[in-house]
Amino acid sequence: MDTNKIKKGLGRGLSSLIGETKAEININKVSISDLASNKFQPRKTFDEDSLQDLTNSIKERGIIQPIIVRKSSDDSSKYEIIAGERRWLAAQKAGLHEVPVVITDVDDLKSLEFAIVENVQRNDLNAIEEARGYQRLIKEFSYDQEKVAQFIGKSRSHIANFLRLLNLPEPVLKLIETQKLTPGHAKILVGLNNAEFVANKIIEKNLSVRQSENFVKIFKINKKSFKNLKDPNLQSLESSIVEKIGLNVLIKSKKNNSGSITFEYKEVDQLNKIIEIIKLNY
């Protein structure tokens, strides 16, 4: 694929991508029930307020921009939406029976490209949806980060940063998807063992990105200092217990040889395991 053609195409919008495919010149009218969602649609959530605004607009003026479709490979009687799923949903809410479409003849790769371009250009995707769209181009269609960057019209660092977000724990990904955590905040959390804890603290304290960076730095310094000061014999003992029971253990010892042992559990079954071990041995 010619990268210059890609960049030029994105500059003109989706119409240029249609020009690269076999599209019927005339705009067709098809029944709403004859359309099916795009199986490559990267967008999983649709803002209800925004969808209602579009619904009201369609009621007043109809659908101005046609929906781009292709013949469904799963059901020959239907068309699969490539771009315009939001318009299709709003048309249903508006009570329309037919919608204007442009029928194209495209493969799965082009279908995914259409869907990603439309959403990225309109800023309709949250960071995780966008990252997963890039990931599909890489995993399923053998793109590399450079090719994705050229196609989407973003920098390679932008693509790399979004892909790194997918390494975060699922609870943190949910916070990003629901916009409780911004991509700027999330980028700071990548690589942290306690990313979920820090994420919740950022939200709880309403920290800015800069404040979050400082918070993480302080946390890392304190953790490093603690490890350096800890008795290596205690560290060895902790490790041996962890290997035996499979749970995190923290041993604190004072100068008078008193102290405490803390067992960390994340679910009831793990708590029961600790209790059973104590009961069996004491």
Per-residue pLDDT tens digits for 241-281: 776 676 778 888 877 778 888 888 777 777 887 888 788 77
> Of the residues 163, 185, 214, which one is the last residue of a structural domain?
163
Q: Which domain, by its residues, includes 257?
A: 230-281
Average confidence (pLDDT) over 194-205? 90
SS3 180: coil
Strands 79-83 and 35-36: parallel
276 a catalytic residue: no
> Of the residues 204, 227, 250, which one is the last residue of a structural domain?
227
Q: Assess contact for 149 and 117: CB atoms under 8 A.
A: no
Tell me which of 20, 60, 85, 130 is the catalytic residue.
85
Residue 95 in this model has a pLDDT that exceeds 70 = yes
Say yes or no: 180 and 100 in one domain: no
- The pLDDT assigned to 47 comes to 67
Say yes or no: 152 and 136 in one domain: yes
The number of domains in the chain is 3
Say yes or no: 68 and 84 in one domain: yes
Residue 86 in this model has a pLDDT that exceeds 50 = yes
- The pLDDT assigned to 217 comes to 79
- The pLDDT assigned to 121 comes to 62
Q: What is the CATH number of the domain that holds 106?
A: 3.90.1530.10
Query: Has this prediction a pTM greater than 0.75?
Result: no
Closest by Cα among 87, 89, 129, 139 to 109: 139
Say yes or no: 39 and 155 in one domain: yes
Closest by Cα among 72, 86, 76, 78 to 39: 72
Residue 257, CB half-sphere, CA atoms under 13 Å: how many? Answer: 0
Say yes or no: 127 and 15 in one domain: yes
- The pLDDT assigned to 44 comes to 64
Q: What are the helix (H) ranges across the chain?
A: 3-12, 14-19, 48-61, 85-93, 108-121, 127-141, 145-152, 156-165, 170-177, 183-189, 195-205, 209-229, 232-245, 268-281
